[in-house]
Amino acid sequence: MNPYIECPQIETKSFVIRLIIESDYESLFKCYNDKKAVVLMNDDNCDFGFYVDSKEKMQETIHYWRDFYIKQYFIRFSVVDKATRETIGTLEGFGGETGVLRVDINSEYEKVYYLTELFNFAKEYFNEMFGNEYLVTKAIAKAEDRRKALENCKWEFIDTFKDYHDYYRVKLF
């Protein structure tokens, strides 16, 4: 499977996970303008922080992410709540032996149940999509639900990844 040629749309129990689209900007603005959510996001090694203060900036950010998808650098997936049909955040993945999973979701979804579902999604699909042997993700100390979900999904706390801290790692199937 080459997700850069045809990006899959995959359903979990609560979510539809699909390629980000331009029209997601209004609902994603709620996520990236949510200061409680942004503080838990991983912007290590990114060109800019993730707090977005206008819908126009959210549109620019989505355009930036889609441009990098076209260049086959990484994929930003939208996470859509199946019950409300609202885009509640994004996931990011890319190729390489060790992939970095970014999980950016509205603070109201920062719950062990939802996070477990998203971490299990990545464990199940990222090896096939991106060829990752391992995944790493960041969970700062105050991200208690995130850390609990990672532990539930059998991710190992490794702390340091490429000079950044608060990382967990899992070997994919």
Residue 4 maps to a domain = no
Residue ranges making up the domain that contains 63:
10-171
Residue 98 maps to a domain = yes
Residue 62 maps to a domain = yes
Percent of the chain topping pLDDT 90: 94
Pairing state between β 134-138 and 98-100: parallel
**pLDDT (mean) for 84-88:** 97
Beta strands in the chain (DSSP E): 10-11, 15-19, 75-81, 87-93, 98-100, 102-105, 134-138, 156-161, 164-171
Query: Are 129 and 1 a contacting pair, CB within 8 Å?
Result: yes
Residue 113 maps to a domain = yes
Residue 67 maps to a domain = yes
Residue 46 maps to a domain = yes
pTM, 2 dp: 0.95
Question: Which of the four pLDDT bands, split at 50, 70 and 90, describes residue 47?
Answer: confident
Domain count, the chain: 1
Q: What is the CA radius of gyration of the chain?
A: 15
Helix (H, G, I), strand (E, B) or coil at 160: strand
Instruction: Tell me which long-range contacts 112-115 makes (C-beta under 8 A, separation of at least 24).
Output: 112/145, 112/148, 112/149, 112/152, 114/14, 115/145, 115/146, 115/149, 115/150
Write the pLDDT tens digit of every residue in 114-126: 999 999 999 999 9
Residue 1 maps to a domain = no
Domain of 63, CATH number, reads: 3.40.630.30
**pLDDT (mean) for 133-151:** 98
- pLDDT of the residue at 105: 98
